[in-house]
Amino acid sequence: MPTPLEQAFNAEKESPQQAVEIYKSVLFAAAASNVSASEREVALLSLAALFEKMQDAAALTGLINSSQNFLITVSRAKSSKLIRTLVDRFNGISGGLQPQINTCQSMIEWSKSENREYLRQALETRLVSLYLDSRMYTEAITLISKLLTELKKLDDKMQLVEVHLLESRAFMALKNLPKSRAALTSARTAANSIYTPPPLQAQLDLQSGTLHSEEGDFKTAYSYFFETLEGLSSYVGPKGSSIDNSEGEAAALRASYEQQQLEAFAYMVLCKIMIQQPDEIPSLFASGKTAAKFRDHQVIVALQAVAKAQKQRSLADFEQAMSVYRDELQADELIRSHLAALYDTLLQQNLTRLIEPYSRVEIAHVSKLIGLPVRVVENKLSQMILDKDLFGILDQGNGCLVIFPEPKTDSTYETTLETMKRLGNVVESLYAKAATL
């Protein structure tokens, strides 16, 4: 006769609700029953996985709250691992971010009441990550400051690396690059004094590459993204990672690492586009199995279309690629911002090439040649004039652009100042020599 757990497992596909009831009967069985702690643990994890499949965030929240009595009976290390696993189950539920934040906050309060400081700090670190995902940057930075103060006193290097990494991400999201780089430097300093697992090292490399990209150093960024891609290769293979004994958890970890690899490879392609080397993108797919498996992924296909448009210097093809693959190219903040800058540069280059033969030209004619609305062309030309990339005026009454010759600057004033400065240095040196006589 099959055990209750086997019955629940067999009923999951045909009758999920029946499986839920059986799992609950095992998990919440009376203390006098013959149900062991390991069976209750299996029931708890299986029930959480089932609620994730059913996309039921409310039921998962209720399960975590109602299982606190059981969590008290197991060891602190085991209960900490169980709680983190249960909270992570929200990741697979659509719209589960806010319920996950609420649950995480309630479990933090529970860990305070039970005096479980290690668990509280681990949950607060997870909460910071959730705050970043929901763009609650003020709350994230406030919690980070509190955590860093505690962790520095405890000298918990591993968690200190994770929190500094989250701090770097928070400040980068706020476009405060100096503070983001300082936080990343602190994370690397802490990481140098301990053994850093490859997945955590890959996150550090990914953040370093992202920061270098924001600063315009795409060649250095490319090398960091490549390190991220290769560093996770052994964790994404068929055997996966051996750090978790649960097959479901191992599969979730592999999926997470593969997503990070995809992100790193997309950024590598982006770097090749930004440094004007679209011809080298096909060679990236021949660099190994890791890169080749992403060839047909939508975001990579979208970036290849952008690279093709850049290679042909076609603004129309660029716009078409941005329109066709809008969802893929707009989903990532780094890709979106750099492609917007690339589009602006490409538009300026095309306009400069078109108006170069003229001293006076109708804006409508330029609009027709470039294939963009008059308003867009007029706005860009006015911006170029204000930035002094173009010397001229917009005659809006006649709908024309009047182009002036580039003014020649008179360098007499600057040359005179430089001469006087050099003469002053000579006089000072003569006084110094005279004083030694």
Q: At what angle do helices 198-214 and 247-274 cross, to 10 degrees?
A: 30
Angle at 278 (CA atoms; ends 272, 281), nearest 5 degrees: 70
Q: Do the Cβ atoms of 378 and 362 come closer than 8 Å?
A: no
Q: Do the Cβ atoms of 268 and 330 come closer than 8 Å?
A: no
What per-residue confidence (pLDDT) applies to 149? Answer: 92
Q: At what angle do helices 315-324 and 333-355 cross, to 10 degrees?
A: 160
Fill in the amino acid letter for 282: P
Q: At what angle do helices 4-11 and 37-53 cross, to 10 degrees?
A: 10
Beta bridge partners, 403, equal 392
State both tokens at 143. Answer: 């919690």
Q: Which long-range contacts (CB under 8 A, 24 or more apart) does 227-230 make?
A: 227/202, 228/202, 228/203, 228/260, 228/261, 228/264, 229/261, 229/264, 229/265, 229/268, 229/290, 229/291, 230/290
Q: Where are the domains of the chain?
A: 1-134
Taking the C-alpha atoms of residue 89 and residue 177, their distance in angstroms, rounded to an integer, is 33
Output the average pLDDT for the chain: 86
CATH of domain 1-134: 1.25.40.570
pLDDT higher than 70, residue 240: no
State both tokens at 1. Answer: 């006769």
Taking the C-alpha atoms of residue 226 and residue 264, their distance in angstroms, rounded to an integer, is 7
Tell me the pLDDT band of 85, cut-offs 50, 70 and 90. confident
Residue 92 half-sphere exposure toward CB, CA atoms < 13 A: 21
pLDDT higher than 80, residue 193: yes
Tell me the pLDDT band of 239, cut-offs 50, 70 and 90. very low
Comparing 421 with 413, which gets the higher pLDDT?
421
For 148, list phi and psi in degrees, rounded to 5.
Answer: -60, -40
Angle at 194 (CA atoms; ends 189, 197), nearest 5 degrees: 105
The tens digit of pLDDT for each residue in 91-100 reads: 888 888 899 9
Taking the C-alpha atoms of residue 129 and residue 163, their distance in angstroms, rounded to an integer, is 9
Taking the C-alpha atoms of residue 122 and residue 159, their distance in angstroms, rounded to an integer, is 8
Beta bridge partners, 402, equal 360, 393
Chain-centre distance for alpha carbon 145 = 21
pLDDT higher than 80, residue 419: yes
Instruction: Name the pTM for this structure.
Output: 0.79
pLDDT higher than 60, residue 238: no
